[in-house]
Amino acid sequence: MADIEQWIGIARDCKYLPENDLKKLCDMVCELLLEESNVQPVSTPVTVCGDIHGQFYDLMELFRTGGQAPDTNYIFMGDFVDRGYYSLETFTLLLTLKARWPDKITLLRGNHESRQITQIYGFYDECQTKYGNANAWRYCCKVFDLLTVSAIIDECILCVHGGLSPDIKTIDQIRTIERNQEIPHKGAFCDILFLSSLCTLDLCDVETWAISPRGAGWLFGSKVTNEFVHINNLKLICRAHQLVHEGYKYMFDEKLVTVWSAPNYCYRCGNIAAVLSFNDADQREAKLFRAVPDSEHVGVNTPVYVGVDTPVYVGVDTPVYGVATPVDVGVDTPLDIAVNTTYSDQFHIKFLCLNTGAKINEIVPKKGIKE
């Protein structure tokens, strides 16, 4: 328990754990997840959260808005990593809270909790850069495989990351999914993580199923939603997966709600974020919050966000994020560079140390296929 308390303190400071400690933490959480059902029961009061996407400081704002653990019971509906600058720190914090208060923190799997997706959208590269190898990513992927795929609140509110599936008519069919694996390219398991609602894509006139433009899963409409709710005696389906600029959006006669918890998504969308708090199955409140200003992101041993022509003095292995930012660093220092606030691909860049800035000497692209 002492280790966990120490890890929570480290994680709350937006720092990542030593590699051996991260492995211990992941192993600990894996043991807890093995005991959870594919449809994990949760009782009210509870607060439901949507995508986080590595926006650590906005996650801290979420806790200030919704309440701190363990005083508030939370369900996070997946997509903890990728795209944001602090995926590793974000996931580490959620894992420490899960390890400390397993009955108060429910973590669902999103489509980004996947080996294939994280190799494309940033988490793999972030782990490589911050640890110097892919071991941390592998430890986290083991956790991904064991994350539960849904939760049910008071037996009548279903929470999933994406949505429904043409292969699933009842909640009991979700219970039969073999979840301890990489997300498959098709089938029920894929669908409930990747599915999108038609109304959020301005296709409300389609009532049943349509092919998803994302290339995975289906789009579902009002008829499908109402039938599933009726057959399974549900009052509501909560899901995430799609950006809604107002933070949350009810659809299909308020039988389905999309919750989005990453404000100013990708540091450029300008959207509000929300969490949905349930006092009981019939009493709910959306709590809105905005992104934390960039000026509040800088801390000890954290990546530095700066403007053009701002000199930054950092030590070896310190990640630096900026746009055409001159830096005073040593040779062979690995740097992360985000162009126009978009998380770029990672490179190891050799810099020639100058008093007034840094000159690119050589760019070495990523090597090989990632496991």
Q: Which of residues 225, 260, 289 is at a domain's end?
A: 289
**Burial grade of 211 (CB within 10 A; 0-12, 13-18, 19 or more):** exposed
Task: Let me know whether 278 and 332 are in one domain.
Answer: no
Mean pLDDT of successive 10-residue segments in the chain (371 residues)? 93 96 98 98 99 98 98 99 97 99 99 96 97 98 98 98 92 97 92 68 52 59 91 97 96 95 96 98 97 76 42 40 36 38 30 30 37 40
Total tally of structural domains belonging to the chain: 2
Task: Let me know whether 326 and 220 are in one domain.
Answer: no
Task: Let me know whether 124 and 193 are in one domain.
Answer: yes
How many CB atoms are closer than 10 A to CB 173? 14
Domain that holds residue 162: 2-289
pTM summary value: 0.79
**Burial grade of 30 (CB within 10 A; 0-12, 13-18, 19 or more):** middle
Q: Is the alpha carbon torsion for 174, 161, 79, 59 positive or negative?
A: negative
pLDDT at 20: 97
H helices present in the chain, as ranges: 2-12, 19-33, 56-66, 87-100, 115-121, 123-131, 135-146, 171-175, 188-194, 222-231
Task: Let me know whether 18 and 131 are in one domain.
Answer: yes
Residues 6+ apart with CB under 8 A from 128: 134, 137, 346
Residues 6+ apart with CB under 8 A from 267: 84, 291, 341, 342
pLDDT at 339: 34
370 in any annotated domain: no
**What DSSP designation does 17 have?**
P
CA distances, 360 to each of 235, 320, 329, 338, 351 (Å): 58, 14, 11, 15, 5
How many CB atoms are closer than 10 A to CB 206? 16
Look up 112 and say whether it is catalytic. yes
Task: From the candidates 112, 161, 241, 297, give the one annotated as an active-site residue.
Answer: 112
Task: Let me know whether 259 and 142 are in one domain.
Answer: yes
In the block, tokens 């400390």 appear at 100
**CATH number for the domain that contains residue 178:** 3.60.21.10
Q: Which of residues 289, 317, 345 is at a domain's end?
A: 289
pLDDT at 350: 27
Task: Let me know whether 44 and 189 are in one domain.
Answer: yes
- CA atoms within 13 A of residue 114's CA, in its CB half-sphere: 19
Task: Let me know whether 311 and 281 are in one domain.
Answer: no
**What DSSP designation does 201 have?**
G
pLDDT at 1: 78
298 in any annotated domain: no
In the block, tokens 């003095």 appear at 313
How many CB atoms are closer than 10 A to CB 285? 10
Task: Let me know whether 196 and 338 are in one domain.
Answer: no
176 in any annotated domain: yes
Task: Let me know whether 208 and 68 are in one domain.
Answer: yes
**Burial grade of 181 (CB within 10 A; 0-12, 13-18, 19 or more):** exposed
Q: How are strands ordered across the β-sheet holding 196-197?
A: 196-197, 218-220, 209-211
Please give the Cα distance from 291 to 289 (Å, whole number): 7
pLDDT at 294: 85
268 in any annotated domain: yes
Please give the Cα distance from 185 to 277 (Å, whole number): 33
How many CB atoms are closer than 10 A to CB 216? 18
Each residue of 43-59: b (16+ CB within 10 Å) or e?
ebebbbbbbbbbbbbbb
